[in-house]
Each structure stands twice: as structure tokens, then as C-alpha cells.
């Protein structure tokens, strides 16, 4: 027992400081090799096996974790990819209620929500954008279907059976724009058992959450599953200009599935889902810059004094709606399996922002985004069980995205209540047609050695049709620009993947080389003729070791990686173009190590932990757009002004050098038939920048070192039929941010929630 406990403590809560010194003193390449060798040797040793054998005497059973990171069901410990697998038990016990909450248990992932749309970063790769036709470099799949729009990827975790975070570029199987990685969310399918569950939750800020699931078998071959959720909270930020709370939400989700399984060879699942949410007053940011950098202050509008206070004149309710219909079919005949997923998805989403973040009507923004997507996936795979296997597939996506955006306010002499066409207005439709063919072959030349050779060819065509109001042309377009215009772009790329994997018994070793690709698009919504955004390319090298004890009670997974990133797509502020635009940075590089561990010490105690070290930099970025400190004739600061800075050698945004997670699941018997549960969870990140160059030489846009502790627990009968529980998020009541952005008005900050707590009642049958 002692040997394994020492290893677990080192990973979960031990020698971080000494490891940090080691990284500083030694070459990274030497460190990777030595760490890999030491971990592999240590994990194969007798102390770990002895600990696992001793734990086995307790009689505890541990299920094998199955993932689909290679589009087929495989053991987490066998798949040669760095994957964080999140089970339904973890989702419930750690209080993961929305998809962005998964960062609490995922080293190397930063998942913020500062502008009302998700900003997902894996290993430092991501982008802050909601531009139609430009997808996130972290691909999100729900039930095997790709989510093309970032503003549709923030949703409640309703009846979810698993979440998988695939780290690093997914060049072949999930390679649709996945230069950073992919997140796979799978909801529960109908079963042949009559069952149901329900939960009621109430907490701080009038937080209310009602959830229910009902599974009904209609016959031997047909079953139905219904799930519904309602969630509400008043908001935790006070708007001093109105005296009301903002950042509150109110919404519901409904889902229905039907499964038809006439034989053991064939099954079909038809699903439909509808989501509706409203958000009070949009992003609701606070102006935090002191004079003279605070422009509203110069007009007599002081900053809101409190951390959870804002003072904004633009107060609106933001609606968000999404609906989808999907049909998934699977057939297995002998050694060949066929699969098809057909999906239609529609999203409508609004946004609004008081750009000056003051009680004055200086500058406001409203936007309406969304679109419709049709997707068809086919795949075929083999399970010969011999020397050779394969997987091939095709993917087709037709997406029609729209964006209507307006600017108004006193700076332009435009009242906020005039018709849109009299404001600075643009209306654009971006149509994307994407096709890809992908495949992998798996060769086993000798026992326990497996080679993977794969590739994906992707082709994207985009067309942007835009119309611009007269004021939009006057302020942000060159003279003579048309009020309507159409532009087209196209991109294509072949991305290979090579893997060597060796099963050494308790330890599985692998090394991989992967290329990734993300299509570009169009950049200026007010004028034609601009340079299109170039495609983004990445190549990644990774080595890994995955250890699991024979009884599955102890596991440690290690991955070391190096990537080179070219033509990196970034979002920068360009006042001359009417706001933010997308452009290509020259290149970047990243390297690091990730460790994840789990140890079930007994029937009542399970420990988990993770550690990620990440070193990133722009290799060449000489003219990065940032905000410089403007000075007067006496060299005194008078505010911020957009300019350029050489950020070559500077680290990437949302790329903390250290990420550390630790958790425990404690189940203590109470009497002969009851159990008390306690689940603490900790996540620490070192400081990181929110945007490129932390906004400019002032370096305002930074998240400081941060440790967040969450706690949940409950008591109920051992059979799990019901539980009376509680949750506390942000137990230490840390004050931190979801986003900070410097601008010509100063710099705005968006507060993350303070400590929240509540009670929960769960029942199942």
C-alpha cells in the first residue's frame, strides 16, 4: 500500500515545487525522455502491483472505462491518445451542470465563458470568436454529431452518459477543424428497462434546477427515453444604473429518443431536442481602468466600485434557442460494422454589450447569430482480430450561418432605439460546404505491437453574402465600397496520422505523429475585397504511457507532446473595421507533459489527480495588434490606443504553465443500509493571459494564479434509490474572472461567480 500511496501523493498533491525547479534547470527534451522512462519503470514495479492486490481484497469492483476516441469502443487504457474520460458518476458528484464545468477535472483544458459563448482551449490552442463560418479549433461533438458554431456549444449536461476530452490535434477521425483537440459528449440512449430518475435543486441567488428522466420499453425491440430540465437563477451581478441583478439565466431543455433494435446486428436511434434559454443583460462587464485610461470617467461616469457590480445603460434580455433531430444507425455483420449519423441542427442566438460599460450611452452593440446545419457521416470498420483491421468514413456538412450586428451610441450620434438600418449595421450569411474522407489501417506485425496509419482529406468552400447600412459604409468601409457584396473562398488539406503502440501488460506505450488543419474564412463584415483568413496548420509529436493494475483500481497515464503551429488564427481588435477581426499570426510552438491518475484505495475511498505542464510561445509575431499606452506632449499617459507590438517569444493566451487537479470520492457506511458521500474537488491554474499579449504593454488582461475548491455530498440508502445532498462551488469564495479585455475605453472585466451553495434531492427507480 505504501508504494502506491507515495506515487499517488506525488501526482495529486506532492512535489510540484521541486518539479517546477526541475523543469527550469533541465532541457525539456531530456526531461520528457527521463520522465517517460521513470514513470514507465516505476509503474511496472512491484509496489504498485502489491497495492492493487491488497485493494482487491476489499472486494471493491471497478468497471473498465470505455471510450470512442478512435470511433470504436475501446478501453481508455488501450487507446493511444491522451484522453480525459468523465463518467456519469463524476458528472453528478462533482456538480458538473454545464459543459464548461468539465475543466474542473481536465488538466490542460481552459474553458471560459466571458462573452456568452464558450472559449475552449486545449494545450493553449483555441480562439475567441463567434464569427460565422469560423469554427473553434477545439471541436465539439454531441452524440457523434459535429457542432459548428461556438455560440451553440454551451449547454446543460442533461442525462449525459460520458464526456471525453481528446487532447492534441485529431488529424483523421475527429479531424474537422480540431487543431487543439475534441470534446465528445454522449447522451444516454434508451434501454430495455423501465427506469427513471429525478432531481430538485435550490441554492444561492434563487438558483433552481429541476431534472427528470424516464426510460420506457414499448416492446422487445422498441424503447423510448425522455429527459427534461428547467434551470433558473437571478444572477450574481448588480447593475447600479438600474438597481437590478444581471447575469441571471432562465431556460429549459427537452429531449426524446426512440431506439429500435430488431436484432443483435442492427439498431437505430432517432432523437430530437429543443433548448430555450434567456440571459439577463448579456455579458455585463465592469469598467475597471482608472483615469485617464477610463474614457467614461472623463464624461462623469465613474466605475462601479464593487467586484460584483456593473453600471450599464444597455439592459436587454438575451434569448438563445436550439433544436436538433438526429438518426443514428449501426449494423454489425460478422467482422464488419457499418455506421451512419444524420443530423439537422438549428441555432438562434442573440448578444448585446454596453461597449463603454458605463451608465452613459457612448457605444452599444447588438448581434443576432445562428444558422442551420445538415450533417451526414458514414463509416465502416473491421474486427478481424488478426494482423489487419481498418476504419474508413466520409463526412459531409452543409452549414448556413447568419450574423446581424449593429453599433450605436453617442459617439456616433445614433440613439439606441432607432431602426437598425439607421444604425451602423451589417447583415451577413456565410454558407459552408465541407466534405471529407478519412481512414485508418491497424497492423499487428507481431504480438502486442500495433501500427496505425491514417489520413484525412478535407475540402471546405465558403461563400459570404453581406449587406451594409449607409452609416456602416461611411464609418468602416473604403470610399466606393458596395452596400452588398459576395465573396468566396475554398480550402483543402490532407492530414496524416501515424502511431506505434506496444502493450507491455500492465503498461501500454505509444508514440504518434499527427497533422491537423483548420479552414479559414472571411474577415471584414463591412467591406468587400479584404484578404481572406488563411487556413491554420499544426503538426504534433506525442509519446505516452498508460498503466493500469490488473484489477483496475490503480491507473496512471502520462503523455509528453511537442507541436508546431503555423498561420495561427487569432482575433484582434480593429477599430477601423468596426470591432474585432480575425487574422493569422505567423507561427507558435508548444510542449508539455500531462499526468492523470486514479486510485481506488478501498470500497469507500477513491483518489484522482492530474498535472499538466505547458510551455508555449509565438515563434514569430512581429506586428501583433494590441493596445498601447498613449501619451501627451509631456509624455503623460492619456489612455489606450490600438497599435502593434512584437510578441515573438510571448506565450499564447489561455495557456497556463501549470494546471493541477485533485479529487476524492468518499463513501462512508452509516448503519447497515445507508451511506454518506463527500466529494471534494480542487483545481489550480498558474496565471495566464486572456487575450494575445495580455492586451498590450500594460498587461491588464491576465488571470492571476487561481485555486478553486468545490465540494458536494449527501446521504441516502446504499441501494442509491434517493439521496439528500448539498453542493458548494467556489468554496474559498475566490474572486476571479471569466474574461478581461483592454480597449480604447479602458479595460473591462467579467466576474466569475462567487461562492454558491444549495441543497439537492435525487431519486431513481
Specify if 15 maps to a domain: yes
Neighbour-count burial for 87-103, b at 16+ CB within 10 Å, e otherwise:
eeebbbbbbbbebbbbb
758 within domain boundaries: no
How far, in Å, CA of 409 to CA of 361, rounded?
5
Strands 309-310 and 237-239: parallel
Cα separation, 535 vs 134, whole angstroms: 10
CB 649 within 8 A of CB 617: yes
27 pLDDT higher than 70: no
Spacing of C-alpha 287 from chain mean position: 27
The string of pLDDT tens digits covering residues 702-741 is 999 999 999 999 999 999 899 999 999 999 999 999 999 8
Q: Cα–Cα distance between 706 and 656 in angstroms, integer?
A: 10
Asked if 111 and 118 touch (Cβ cutoff 8 Å), the reply is: yes
Map residue 574 onto helix, strand or coil.
strand
Q: Is residue 764 part of a domain?
A: no
106/542 Cα distance (integer angstroms): 18
Residue 203 inside a domain? The answer is yes
**What CATH number corresponds to the domain at position 60?**
2.40.170.20
Q: Which of 176, 189, 99, 185 is nearest to 144 (CA)?
A: 185
Q: Which residue has the cell 499564447?
A: 652
Q: Which domain holds residue 457?
A: 2-664+687-703+735-750
> What is the average pLDDT across 670-684?
96
Mean pLDDT of 450-460: 96
444 has a pLDDT exceeding 90: yes
What distance in Å separates the CA atoms of residue 324 and residue 329, rounded to the nearest whole number? Answer: 17
Q: Helix axis angle, 46-56 relative to 2-13, nearest 10°?
A: 100
Going by pLDDT thresholds of 50, 70 and 90, the confidence category of residue 573 is low
The cell numbers describing 444, all together, are: 499487428
Dihedral in degrees, nearest 10, Cα atoms 49, 55, 61, 64: -30
Q: What band does 3 get if pLDDT is binned at 50, 70 and 90?
A: very low
Number of domains in the chain: 1
CB 762 within 8 A of CB 723: yes
Does residue 711 lie in a domain region? no
Is residue 713 assigned to a domain? Answer: no
Is residue 715, in this structure, part of any structural domain at all? no
525: confidence class by pLDDT, cuts 50, 70, 90: low
* Per-residue pLDDT at 132: 72
CA-closest candidate to residue 738, choices 681, 691, 684: 691
Distance CA 142, CA 160 (A): 10
Cα–Cα nearest to 286, from 235, 233, 356, 352: 356
| Cα–Cα dist 12/52, whole Å | 18
Average pLDDT of the chain? Answer: 87
Model confidence at 106, pLDDT cuts 50, 70, 90, reads: very high
Residues 6 or more apart from 753 whose CB is under 8 A from it?
A: 236, 729, 730
End-to-end CA distance of the chain: 38
Q: Give the predicted TM-score (pTM) of the model.
A: 0.90
Q: Comparing 38-52, 332-346, 670-684, which segment has the lowest mean pLDDT?
A: 38-52
Residue 704: other Cβ atoms inside 10 A: 12
Whether residue 712 is contained in a domain is answered as no
Quick one: pLDDT at residue 576? 55
Amino acid at each position: 500500500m505504501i508504494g502506491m500511496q507515495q506515487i499517488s501523493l506525488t501526482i495529486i498533491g506532492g512535489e510540484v515545487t521541486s518539479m517546477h525547479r526541475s523543469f527550469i534547470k533541465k532541457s525539456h527534451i531530456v526531461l520528457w525522455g527521463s520522465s517517460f522512462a521513470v514513470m514507465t519503470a516505476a509503474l511496472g514495479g512491484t509496489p504498485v502491483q502489491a497495492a492493487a492486490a491488497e485493494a482487491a481484497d476489499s472486494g471493491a469492483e471497478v468497471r473498465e472505462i470505455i471510450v470512442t476516441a478512435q470511433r470504436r469502443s475501446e478501453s481508455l487504457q488501450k487507446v493511444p491518445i491522451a484522453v480525459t474520460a468523465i463518467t456519469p458518476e463524476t458528472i453528478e458528484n462533482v456538480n458538473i451542470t454545464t459543459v464548461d464545468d468539465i475543466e474542473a477535472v481536465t488538466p490542460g483544458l481552459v474553458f471560459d465563458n466571458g462573452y456568452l459563448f464558450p472559449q475552449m482551449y486545449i494545450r493553449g490552442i483555441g480562439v475567441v470568436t463567434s464569427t460565422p463560418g469560423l469554427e473553434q479549433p477545439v471541436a465539439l461533438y454531441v452524440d457523434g454529431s459535429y457542432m459548428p458554431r461556438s455560440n451553440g456549444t454551451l449547454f446543460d449536461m442533461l442525462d449525459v452518459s460520458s464526456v471525453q476530452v481528446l487532447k492534441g490535434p485529431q488529424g483523421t477521425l475527429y479531424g474537422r477543424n480540431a487543431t487543439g483537440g475534441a470534446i465528445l459528449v454522449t447522451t444516454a440512449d434508451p434501454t430495455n428497462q423501465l427506469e427513471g430518475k429525478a432531481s430538485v435543486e435550490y441554492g444561492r441567488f434563487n438558483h433552481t434546477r429541476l431534472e427528470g428522466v424516464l426510460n420506457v420499453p414499448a416492446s422487445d425491440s422498441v424503447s423510448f427515453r425522455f429527459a427534461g430540465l428547467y434551470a433558473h437563477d437571478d444572477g450574481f451581478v448588480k447593475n447600479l444604473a438600474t438597481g437590478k441583478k444581471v447575469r441571471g439565466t432562465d431556460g429549459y431543455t427537452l429531449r426524446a429518443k426512440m431506439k429500435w433494435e430488431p436484432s443483435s446486428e442492427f439498431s437505430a436511434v432517432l432523437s430530437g431536442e429543443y433548448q430555450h434559454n434567456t440571459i439577463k443583460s448579456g455579458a455585463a462587464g465592469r469598467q475597471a481602468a482608472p483615469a485617464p485610461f477610463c474614457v467614461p470617467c472623463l464624461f462623469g461616469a465613474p466605475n462601479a466600485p464593487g467586484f460584483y457590480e456593473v453600471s450599464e445603460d444597455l439592459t436587454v434580455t438575451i434569448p438563445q434557442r436550439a433544436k436538433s433531430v438526429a438518426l443514428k444507425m449501426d449494423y454489425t455483420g460478422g467482422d464488419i460494422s457499418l455506421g451512419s449519423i444524420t443530423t439537422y441542427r438549428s441555432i438562434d442566438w442573440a448578444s448585446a454589450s454596453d461597449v463603454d460599460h458605463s451608465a452613459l450611452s457612448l457605444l452599444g452593440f447588438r448581434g443576432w447569430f445562428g444558422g442551420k446545419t445538415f450533417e451526414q457521416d458514414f463509416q465502416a470498420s473491421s474486427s478481424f482480430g488478426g494482423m489487419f483491421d481498418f476504419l474508413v468514413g466520409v463526412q459531409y456538412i452543409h452549414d448556413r450561418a447568419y450574423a446581424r450586428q449593429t453599433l450605436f451610441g453617442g459617439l456616433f450620434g445614433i440613439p439606441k432605439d432607432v431602426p437598425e438600418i439607421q444604425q451602423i449595421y451589417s447583415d451577413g450569411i456565410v454558407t459552408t460546404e465541407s466534405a471529407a474522407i478519412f481512414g485508418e489501417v491497424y497492423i499487428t506485425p507481431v504480438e502486442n505491437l500495433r501500427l496505425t496509419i491514417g489520413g484525412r482529406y478535407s475540402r471546405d468552400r465558403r461563400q459570404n453574402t453581406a449587406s451594409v447600412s449607409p452609416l456602416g459604409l461611411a464609418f468602416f468601409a473604403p470610399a466606393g465600397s458596395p452596400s452588398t457584396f459576395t465573396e468566396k473562398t475554398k480550402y483543402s488539406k490532407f492530414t496524416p496520422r501515424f502511431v506505434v503502440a506496444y502493450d507491455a501488460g500492465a503498461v501500454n506505450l505509444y508514440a504518434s505523429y499527427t497533422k491537423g488543419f483548420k479552414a479559414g474564412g472571411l474577415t471584414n463584415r463591412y467591406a468587400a475585397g479584404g484578404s481572406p483568413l488563411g487556413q491554420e496548420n499544426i503538426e504534433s509529436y506525442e509519446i505516452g504511457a498508460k498503466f493500469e493494475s490488473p484489477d483496475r483500481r490503480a491507473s496512471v497515464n502520462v503523455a509528453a507532446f511537442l507541436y508546431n503551429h503555423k498561420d495561427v488564427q487569432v482575433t484582434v481588435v480593429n477599430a477601423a473595421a468596426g470591432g474585432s477581426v480575425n487574422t493569422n499570426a505567423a507561427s507558435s510552438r508548444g510542449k508539455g507533459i500531462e499526468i492523470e491518475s486514479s486510485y481506488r484505495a478501498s470500497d469507500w475511498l477513491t483518489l484522482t489527480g492530474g498535472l499538466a505542464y505547458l510551455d508555449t510561445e509565438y515563434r514569430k509575431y512581429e506586428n501583433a495588434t494590441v493596445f498601447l499606452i498613449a501619451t501627451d506632449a509631456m509624455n503623460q499617459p492619456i489612455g489606450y490606443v490600438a497599435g502593434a507590438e512584437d510578441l515573438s517569444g510571448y506565450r499564447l493566451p489561455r495557456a497556463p504553465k501549470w494546471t493541477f487537479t485533485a479529487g476524492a470520492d468518499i463513501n462512508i457506511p452509516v448503519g447497515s443500509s445507508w451511506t454518506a458521500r463527500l466529494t471534494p474537488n480542487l483545481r489550480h491554474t498558474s496565471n495566464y493571459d486572456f487575450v494575445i499579449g495580455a492586451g498590450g504593454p500594460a498587461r491588464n488582461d491576465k488571470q492571476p494564479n487561481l485555486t478553486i475548491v468545490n465540494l458536494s455530498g449527501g446521504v441516502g440508502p446504499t441501494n442509491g434509490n434517493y439521496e439528500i445532498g448539498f453542493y458548494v462551488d467556489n468554496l474559498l469564495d475566490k474572486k476571479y474572472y471569466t474574461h478581461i479585455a483592454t480597449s480604447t475605453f479602458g479595460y473591462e472585466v467579467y466576474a466569475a461567480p462567487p461562492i454558491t451553495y444549495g441543497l439537492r434531492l435525487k431519486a431513481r427507480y
